[in-house]
C-alpha cells in the first residue's frame, strides 16, 4: 500500500498549508499509518539558508544539515515523519540538477525542456520518499498559490502522478480562502475561481479545506460543492482555532476528514488514537498558571522569524501545566540607556530567551539584556547567538574586558571571545557552508543541562560559523563561567552556565528543532520550570 496526497493552496499565500498538511499527517498517524512529508518550494533559491527571516521566516535545519523551509518544522511538531534534505524540494535544486546533467551530456543531445525533463526530475524526487518501504502515505505540500507562474512545473508533475497512480492511490487536497467582507459576510467566489484555476491545470481537487475566520455553515458548503465538483462531505471548514493550532487535528477529525481520506484512498483504519492531542489541547485551554517569557531578538515584527522557538516555549509550558505569554522585546529597547528612559524592559518578565541570529544590528541590546537577566537573577536561555551573547557579556562585566566581542561583529576587538570556526576560514560561498546538522555533545556532571537531559551524551542540530574562542576558555572558566558541554573531543564549547544563578544556560545548538507539543524538549521544559519557580519569588521581592 502506497498512497500519495498533494496539498495545494489558492487565492493567496500564508493560509496555513503547512499546518493543514501537518494536521492531516497527525490524523493519519493516529490511524496507525506511517507518514512521510515533503515540501515543494517554487523559489529559485537552492534552499532557504541564505534568505533573510523577513523573506521566508526561520530556517529549519534537519539532522543531515539541510537548511529548509519553516514548514518542515510544522511537520516535525505534528508528525513522526523522518526529515532530511530529500524532504525539501525547490526549483533551484531541480533546475541545477537538470542543467548539470545536460552539461554532462546525459540527455544524449536531446533538447532539454520543462516537460519532460524538469517534471521528471520533480517526480523522481517525490518518488524517492513515496517509495520508502516503510511509508504508507506521503503528503506533498506544493508551496505558493495556484495561478503563480513559479508553481506550474510542480502542478504539472502532480497532474502526471495523479494520472499515473490513479484516484485510488492519489488524491488532491486544496486549501482556499473564504474571505470576510465588510458587514461580516463570508464570500465563496474566490474559492470558486481558485478551484477553476486548478481544474485548468488538469487537477480536480478531491477535498477542499475552506480557510475562514469562523466555521462555515452547511448552506455555504453545499454552494461550494455545487460549483467545484467536490462532494459535500469533502468540503471541510478550516476555521481559526484558539489558543493554538494544535487543536486543528481535532477540528478536522470532528468533521471526519481522516475518515474521508481513508475512504477515498481505499485504506482500512488500524485504529484511531488522538489521546495525546486531546491532552495537549486540554492543557492549552485549561492551564494552571501563566508565565511571561521575554524573547529578546532583532526580528520581532515577523512572528515566523522565531517560529520554532516560540512553539518550543509553548511546549515547555505544556510540560509544566502553564500557559506562556510570549513578550517580544526588540533588542534595540535595551540600547543607548533605553532601559533608563523607558523603565525596566524586564519588569514583569519571568524568564528571558535570546535566540539565534546573524548580523551586527541589535547585538549591544542583547548583551545588555543578558546583563540585566544575570544580575536580576531572572532565568535566561541563550540559543546559538544567545549563548555567544552570554559569553561576551560575562567577559565584559566579570573579566572587565570592555571591548570583548565576537569577531563576527568587531574584527578589531582585542578580546575576540567568540571567533570564526577554523574550518570556516577562507570560505566565500554562503550557501550550505556553515556547521550544519546533528552532532554529539558531552555534558558535565552536576550541571543544569545534564540534569535536564538526564544523559551525558546528546545529539543536537547546529547552524553557525562562530564559536567560543578556545584562546579564552581558561580565563572564562577561571572567572567562574561553567563550560557545561563540549564536543566529544573537547575541541568546541557547546554549552555554558552562569554560576550562582537560578537558571542561566546557553547552548550553541538549536534544541527548538526537535521539540513537539506531545514531547517537549527537556531544555525548554527545564527553563520554563525554573521561570515558574522564579515567578512567586520575584513577586515577593517586588512587594518588598
Residues marked active site are found at 384, 510, 512
Rg (CA), the chain: 25
The span from the CA of 69 to the CA of 21, in Å, is: 14
Q: Are 224 and 209 in contact (CB under 8 A)?
A: no
Quick one: which of 296, 299, 329, 361 has its CA closest to 55? 299
Distances, alpha carbon 331 to alpha carbons 80, 346, 361, 367, 380, in Å: 35, 12, 9, 9, 15
Where does 131-256 have alpha helices with state H? Answer: 152-165, 189-200, 218-228, 248-254
Strand 3-9 relative to strand 137-142: parallel, antiparallel, unpaired? parallel
Q: How far are the Cα atoms of 190, 213, 228 from residue 219, in angstroms, in the given order?
A: 17, 17, 14
> Which helix (H) or strand (E) covers residue 174, if one does?
strand 170-177
Q: In terms of DSSP bridges, do strands 482-487 and 290-297 run parallel, antiparallel, or are they unpaired?
A: unpaired
Q: What is the DSSP letter of 372?
A: H
Residue 433: CB atoms within 10 Å: 13
Among 88, 139, 83, CA closest to 258:
139
C-alpha to C-alpha distance for 19 and 73, rounded to whole angstroms: 10
For helices 363-375 and 385-397, angle between their N-to-C axes, nearest 10 degrees: 70
The closest alpha carbon to 518, from 17, 14, 29, belongs to 29
- The helix (H) or strand (E) run that includes residue 270 is none
* CA distance linking residue 507 with residue 382, whole number of Å: 6
Q: Determine the distance from the C-alpha atom of residue 436 to the mean position of all C-alpha atoms in its chain, rounded to a whole number.
A: 16
Torsion, Cα of 25, 77, 15, 67 (10° steps): -110
Q: Which residues pair with 166 in a beta bridge?
A: none
- All three cell numbers of 232: 459535500
Amino acid at each position: 500500500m502506497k498512497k500519495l496526497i498533494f496539498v495545494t493552496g489558492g487565492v493567496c499565500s500564508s493560509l496555513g498549508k503547512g499546518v493543514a498538511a501537518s494536521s492531516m499527517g497527525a490524523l493519519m498517524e493516529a490511524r496507525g499509518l506511517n507518514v512521510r512529508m515533503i515540501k515543494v518550494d517554487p523559489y529559485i533559491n537552492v534552499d532557504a539558508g541564505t534568505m533573510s527571516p523577513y523573506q521566508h521566516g526561520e530556517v529549519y535545519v534537519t539532522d543531515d544539515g539541510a537548511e529548509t523551509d519553516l514548514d518542515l518544522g510544522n511537520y516535525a511538531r505534528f508528525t513522526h515523519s523522518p526529515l532530511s534534505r530529500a524532504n525539501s524540494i525547490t526549483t533551484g535544486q531541480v533546475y541545477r540538477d537538470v542543467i548539470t546533467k545536460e552539461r554532462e551530456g546525459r540527455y544524449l543531445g536531446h533538447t532539454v525542456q520543462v516537460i519532460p525533463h524538469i517534471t521528471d526530475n520533480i517526480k523522481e524526487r517525490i518518488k524517492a520518499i513515496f517509495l520508502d518501504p516503510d511509508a504508507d502515505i506521503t503528503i506533498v505540500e506544493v508551496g505558493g498559490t495556484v495561478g503563480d507562474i513559479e508553481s506550474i512545473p510542480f502542478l504539472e508533475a502532480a497532474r502526471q502522478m495523479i494520472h499515473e497512480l490513479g484516484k485510488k492511490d492519489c488524491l488532491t487536497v486544496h486549501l482556499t480562502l473564504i474571505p470576510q467582507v465588510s458587514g461580516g459576510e463570508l464570500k465563496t467566489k474566490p474559492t470558486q475561481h481558485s478551484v477553476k484555476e486548478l481544474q485548468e491545470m488538469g487537477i480536480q481537487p478531491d477535498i477542499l479545506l475552506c480557510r475562514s475566520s469562523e466555521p462555515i455553515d452547511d448552506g455555504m458548503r453545499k454552494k461550494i460543492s455545487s460549483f467545484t465538483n467536490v462532494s459535500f462531505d469533502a468540503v471541510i471548514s478550516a476555521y481559526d482555532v484558539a489558543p493554538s493550532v494544535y487543536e486543528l487535528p481535532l477540528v478536522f477529525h470532528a468533521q471526519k476528514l481522516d475518515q474521508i481520506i481513508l475512504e477515498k484512498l481505499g485504506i482500512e483504519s488500524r485504529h484511531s488514537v488522538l489521546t495525546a492531542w486531546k491532552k495537549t489541547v486540554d492543557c492549552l485551554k485549561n492551564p494552571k498558571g501563566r508565565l511571561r517569557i521575554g524573547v529578546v531578538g532583532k526580528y520581532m515584527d515577523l512572528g515566523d522569524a522565531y517560529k520554532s522557538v516560540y512553539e518550543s516555549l509553548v511546549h515547555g509550558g505544556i510540560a509544566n501545566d502553564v500557559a506562556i505569554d510570549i513578550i517580544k522585546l526588540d533588542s534595540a529597547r535595551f540600547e543607548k540607556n533605553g532601559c533608563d528612559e523607558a523603565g525596566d524592559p524586564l519588569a514583569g518578565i519571568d524568564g528571558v530567551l535570546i535566540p539565534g541570529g546573524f548580523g551586527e544590528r541589535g547585538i549591544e541590546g542583547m548583551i545588555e539584556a543578558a546583563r540585566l537577566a544575570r544580575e536580576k537573577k531572572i532565568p535566561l536561555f541563550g540559543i546559538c547567538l544567545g549563548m555567544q551573547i552570554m559569553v561576551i557579556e560575562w567577559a565584559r562585566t566579570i573579566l572587565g574586558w570592555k571591548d570583548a566581542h565576537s569577531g563576527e561583529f568587531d574584527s578589531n576587538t582585542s578580546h575576540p571571545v567568540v571567533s570564526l570556526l577554523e574550518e570556516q576560514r577562507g570560505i566565500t560561498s554562503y550557501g550550505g557552508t556553515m556547521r550544519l546538522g546533528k552532532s554529539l555533545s558531552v555534558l558535565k556532571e552536576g550541571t543544569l543541562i545534564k540534569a535536564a537531559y538526564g544523559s551525558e551524551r546528546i545529539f543536537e542540530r547546529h547552524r553557525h560559523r562562530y564559536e567560543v574562542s578556545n584562546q579564552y576558555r581558561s580565563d572564562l572558566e577561571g572567572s567562574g563561567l561553567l563550560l557545561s558541554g563540549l564536543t566529544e573531543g573537547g575541541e568546541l564549547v557547546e554549552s555554558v552556565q552562569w554560576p550562582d544563578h537560578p537558571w542561566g544556560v546557553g547552548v550553541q545548538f538549536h534544541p527548538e528543532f526537535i521539540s513537539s507539543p506531545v514531547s517537549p524538549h527537556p531544555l525548554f521544559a527545564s527553563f520554563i520550570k525554573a521561570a515558574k519557580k522564579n515567578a512567586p519569588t520575584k513577586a515577593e521581592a517586588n512587594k518588598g
